[in-house]
């Protein structure tokens, strides 16, 4: 996933603000596309987390199932 | 010749359509490759809604006999309302560029509601009618595809956001830089200039620092392009990006223009209220007798005399000035008082040249000079003495802009000219009223003159044969 690929870059950036020389042969919109891939990736990840959170919430709200979880663990 | 089809030389980047002129009417041909998107957009009624609210130019289908003139490539031809004046982002003052940026985002948000996206975000796709921004490139609209990214994001950042940030975060005007770099101000350059404190803003971090870093890292890693091409942005994130960008830009204010010399000139000038009234009365009489469709106000300052011209018979006023503080005041006045007035940045000693591809993509000031009237008050001495341009050359240049007008001559004994000469040698023996009048009468008839101040400022109204 593109998101995974750029995550280290993002972390690196926050720690260190560096710039590299630009060269030709690279579409000038590449940075914007990668940025939006990242935004899309984060939005997707948040969506997945939300879904799982809802599942967990539902799971615990149905009290009879608590035991099942404990036995599985 | 009047019925021949003339292509607009600046209209070539998008092969899906072209702008043409017949006489003074403006047409857009649409190629077969664009028909599907164009018909979809037409079907949603978006173009009608945008033009009804003044956000986009009006677009109407043309009669088949006109369509035939555009050749086989033109599957469809539409006519646009004619814009009275074309201006470029490097001529817009901060407040105008900001208004254009907000309009661009508003149009895009409204389009998204109708399942339409914009293929680019060129600042040249916005023009001004009076002081109101209008979106003109209807072929940028296309059917929204679920999950597509904001295709114009990078262009938006370089053509709108970066220039605005340069002025608002650093207090540096963008106009010279933008003129030299018509594609906009590169985010990599802006990033190098911004202090670390500016980068604490999440918006700056994401749209400037992160974007330019991802660009450089893609460059160094020879990134797999296909993974980027397949990138998906959920529709809600797309809309959120546009909304957040809009909210951010709405907060940007220019730094370093609050107290400029000319912004306060109207309050601090060296002549009396009587003298101001005399000047205004002269301009009012000129506007009332000529009734110019377009008047150019060279050295418009905050627009006092443009306002007089507009209230006395001029239909549209294009103002030019080199002071950013005065221009921002002039622009906000035009918007708040609904004046048909567009104030633009111009250094009179270095007017906008022809530039862009083949030096014909973006037109020079002279190529766009079709004013019916000219006002140049307290302008000549700045160029003649401030910039050493011979007096007759300044007069000739001004008079070439419009067939009739009013030019003010400020003599050497005036306090403002004395200021200009205070710290330098007077190398201008030919700068005097007689030489000025001789230069004007060499090109036109002098209709009226009036001495308006005790220092001997002279207003001259000319009319070319």
pLDDT per residue as tens digits for the range B182-214: 999 999 999 999 999 999 999 999 999 999 999
Pairing of strands B316-321, B294-298: parallel
B187 to chain A, any CB pair closer than 8 A? The answer is yes
Band the pLDDT of B68: cuts 50, 70, 90.
confident
Question: How near does any CA of chain A get to the CA of B93, in Å?
Answer: 27
- Please tell me which of the candidates B214, B215, B237 has its beta carbon nearest to residue A43: B237
Residues in B touching A21 (Cβ below 8 Å): 216
Distance of CA B309 to the CA centre of its chain: 20
State pLDDT tens for residues B88-127. 999 999 999 999 999 999 999 999 999 999 999 999 999 9
Question: How near does any CA of chain B get to the CA of A4, in Å?
Answer: 12
pLDDT on residue B319: 98
Q: What percent of chain B has pLDDT over 90?
A: 79
C-beta separation of B214 from A31 below 8 A: yes
State the best of B231, B235, B238 to mutate against chain A, taking most chain A CBs within 10 Å: B231
Band the pLDDT of B1: cuts 50, 70, 90.
very low
Contact A37 B231 (CB under 8 A): yes
Helix A2-15, helix B211-221: angle, nearest 10:
120
C-beta separation of B421 from B384 below 8 A: no
B235 to chain A, any CB pair closer than 8 A? The answer is no
- Please tell me which of the candidates B188, B233, B236 has its beta carbon nearest to residue A22: B188
Contact A37 B219 (CB under 8 A): no
Matching residue, tokens 């007759």: B392
pLDDT tens for chain A, 73 residues long, are: 444 555 555 555 555 455 444 455 667 788 899 899 888 888 888 888 998 899 988 888 875 555 544 444 4
Q: What percent of chain B has pLDDT over 70?
A: 95
- Please tell me which of the candidates A2, A13, A39 has its beta carbon nearest to residue B241: A39
Say how far apart CA B266 and CA B300 lie, in whole Å. Answer: 11
Cα B154–Cα B163–Cα B127 angle in degrees, nearest 5: 85
Contact B228 A19 (CB under 8 A): no
- Residue A65 DSSP symbol: G
Q: How many pairs of residues across A and B have Cβ atoms under 8 Å apart? A: 115
Residue A19 has phi, psi (to 5 degrees) of: -130, 140
C-beta separation of B65 from B71 below 8 A: no
Say how far apart CA B5 and CA B24 lie, in whole Å. Answer: 11
State pLDDT tens for residues B227-269. 778 888 999 999 999 999 999 999 999 997 666 656 666 666 6
Please compute the mean of the pLDDT values over residues B21-47 and round it to a whole number. Answer: 92
pLDDT on residue A10: 53
Residue of B72 and B187 predicted with greater confidence:
B187
The span from the first CA to the last CA of chain B, in angstroms, equals 25
Residues whose CB is less than 8 angstroms from the CB of residue B403 and which lie 6 or more positions away in sequence, other chains included: B372, B463, B464
pLDDT on residue A12: 52
Residues in A touching B233 (Cβ below 8 Å): 36-37, 39-40, 43
Please compute the mean of the pLDDT values over residues B374-392 and round it to a whole number. Answer: 96
Say how far apart CA B405 and CA B397 lie, in whole Å. Answer: 13
Q: Considering only residues 2 to 61 of chain A, which have any Cβ-Cβ distance to chain B shorter than 8 Å?
A: 2, 5-6, 9-10, 13-14, 17-23, 26-40, 43-44, 47
Contact B154 A39 (CB under 8 A): no
pLDDT on residue B65: 77
State pLDDT tens for residues B123-140. 999 999 999 999 999 999
pLDDT on residue B382: 95
Contact B232 A6 (CB under 8 A): no
Please compute the mean of the pLDDT values over residues B267-276 and round it to a whole number. Answer: 75
C-beta separation of A17 from B199 below 8 A: yes
Band the pLDDT of B343: cuts 50, 70, 90.
very high
Question: Residue B353 corresponds to which tokens in the numbers above?
Answer: 């040249």
Q: How many of the other CB atoms lie within 10 Å of CB of B121? A: 25
Cα B19–Cα B21–Cα B24 angle in degrees, nearest 5: 135
pLDDT on residue B221: 73
The answer to whether the Cα torsion of B414, B420, B422, B427 is positive or negative is negative
Contact B233 A36 (CB under 8 A): yes
Say how far apart CA B287 and CA B405 lie, in whole Å. Answer: 9
Say how far apart CA A34 and CA B230 lie, in whole Å. Answer: 11
Residues in B touching A9 (Cβ below 8 Å): 213-214, 217
Question: Residue B328 corresponds to which tokens in the numbers above?
Answer: 């921002």
The interface predicted TM-score of the complex, written ipTM, equals 0.77
Question: How near does any CA of chain A get to the CA of B227, in Å?
Answer: 7
- Residue A24 DSSP symbol: S
| Residue B323 pLDDT greater than 60, yes or no | yes
pLDDT on residue B275: 87
Matching residue, tokens 């306060």: B264
Say how far apart CA B218 and CA B402 lie, in whole Å. Answer: 52
C-beta separation of B358 from B349 below 8 A: no
Residues in A touching B212 (Cβ below 8 Å): 19, 31
pLDDT on residue B303: 96
pTM (predicted TM-score): 0.89
Name which of B37, B4, B39 is nearest B21 in CA terms: B4
Residue of B251 and B76 predicted with greater confidence:
B251
Q: What 3-state DSSP class applies to A46?
A: helix
Neighbour-count burial of B4, counting CB atoms closer than 10 A to its CB (0-12 exposed, 13-18 middle, 19+ buried): exposed
Name which of B44, B36, B11 is nearest B26 in CA terms: B11
């Amino acid at each position: 996933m593109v998101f995974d690929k750029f995550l280290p870059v993002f972390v690196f950036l926050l720690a260190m603000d560096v710039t590299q020389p630009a060269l030709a042969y690279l579409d000038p919109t590449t940075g914007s596309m990668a940025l939006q891939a990242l935004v899309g990736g984060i939005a997707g990840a948040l969506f997945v987390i939300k879904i799982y959170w809802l599942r967990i919430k539902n799971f615990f709200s149905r009290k009879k199932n608590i035991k099942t979880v404990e036995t599985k663990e | 010749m009047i019925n021949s089809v003339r292509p607009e030389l600046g209209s070539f980047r998008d092969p899906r359509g072209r702008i043409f002129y017949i006489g003074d009417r403006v047409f857009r041909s649409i190629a077969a490759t664009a028909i599907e998107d164009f018909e979809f957009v037409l079907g949603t009624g978006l173009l009608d809604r945008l033009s009804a609210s003044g956000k986009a130019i009006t677009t109407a289908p043309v009669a088949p006999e006109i369509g035939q003139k555009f050749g086989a490539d033109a599957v469809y031809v539409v006519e646009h309302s004619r814009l009275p004046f074309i201006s470029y982002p490097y001529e817009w003052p901060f407040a105008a560029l900001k208004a254009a940026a907000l309009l661009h985002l508003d149009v895009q948000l409204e389009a998204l509601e109708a399942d339409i996206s914009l293929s680019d975000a060129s600042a040249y796709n916005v023009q001004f009618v009076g002081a109101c921004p209008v979106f003109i490139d209807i072929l940028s609209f296309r059917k929204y595809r679920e999950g597509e990214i904001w295709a114009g994001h990078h262009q938006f950042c370089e053509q709108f956001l970066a220039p605005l940030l340069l002025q608002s975060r650093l207090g540096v005007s963008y106009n010279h830089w933008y003129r030299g770099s018509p594609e906009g101000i590169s985010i990599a350059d802006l990033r190098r200039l911004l202090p670390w404190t500016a980068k604490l803003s999440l918006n700056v971090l994401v749209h400037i620092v992160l974007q330019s870093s991802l660009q450089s890292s893609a460059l160094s890693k020879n990134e797999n392009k296909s993974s980027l091409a397949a990138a998906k942005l959920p529709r809600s994130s797309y809309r959120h990006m546009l909304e957040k960008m809009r909210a951010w830009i709405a907060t940007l204010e220019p730094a370093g223009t609050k107290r400029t010399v000319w912004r306060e000139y109207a309050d601090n000038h060296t002549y009396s209220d009587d003298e101001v009234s005399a000047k205004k009365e002269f301009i009012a009489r000129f506007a009332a007798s000529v009734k110019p469709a377009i008047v150019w106000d060279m050295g418009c300052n905050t627009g006092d005399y443009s306002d007089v011209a507009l209230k006395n018979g001029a239909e549209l006023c294009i103002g030019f000035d080199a002071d950013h503080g005065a221009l921002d005041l002039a622009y906000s006045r035009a918007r708040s008082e609904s004046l048909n007035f567009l104030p633009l940045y111009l250094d009179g000693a270095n007017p906008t040249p022809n530039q862009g591809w083949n030096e014909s993509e973006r037109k020079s000031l002279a190529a766009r000079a079709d004013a019916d009237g000219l006002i140049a008050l307290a302008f000549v001495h700045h160029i003649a003495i401030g910039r050493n341009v011979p007096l007759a050359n300044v007069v000739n240049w001004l008079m070439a802009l419009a067939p009739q007008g009013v030019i003010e001559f400020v003599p050497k004994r005036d306090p403002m000219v004395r200021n200009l000469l205070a710290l330098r040698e007077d190398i201008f023996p030919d700068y005097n009223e007689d030489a000025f009048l001789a230069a004007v009468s060499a090109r036109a008839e002098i209709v009226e003159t009036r001495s308006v101040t005790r220092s001997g400022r002279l207003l001259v109204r000319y009319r070319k044969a």
